[in-house]
Amino acid sequence: MARSTFHYQCQVAQRADKLGAMEPRIRSVYDEHKGRYGYRRITAALCSSMAEPVNHKFVQRLMRKMRLRALIRAKKRS
């Protein structure tokens, strides 16, 4: 096995562990706020509660995978 392939597979394994740990956290924040939070506010909530920061693109990708979407208010017309 090539050295570069070995190191790439090690990174993929670490990423999979992180992915599995973040899904329940995202789901709990989403459910806690009754589906009103989008990926930006969920990222902010996770960054403030955790010691390690989370990237907004990572949260957005996981939310899209879990099919979580924020509720959008209807615009008022006058």
Cα separation, 71 vs 77, whole angstroms: 19
Cα separation, 78 vs 69, whole angstroms: 28
pLDDT digits (tens, 9 = 90+) for 15-43: 777 777 888 999 999 999 999 999 999 99
pLDDT digits (tens, 9 = 90+) for 56-70: 999 999 999 999 999
What is the DSSP secondary structure assignment for residue 3, as one 8-state letter?
A: H
**Sign of CA pseudo-dihedral 24, 29, 33, 36:** negative
Taking the model in full, what pTM does it have? Answer: 0.74
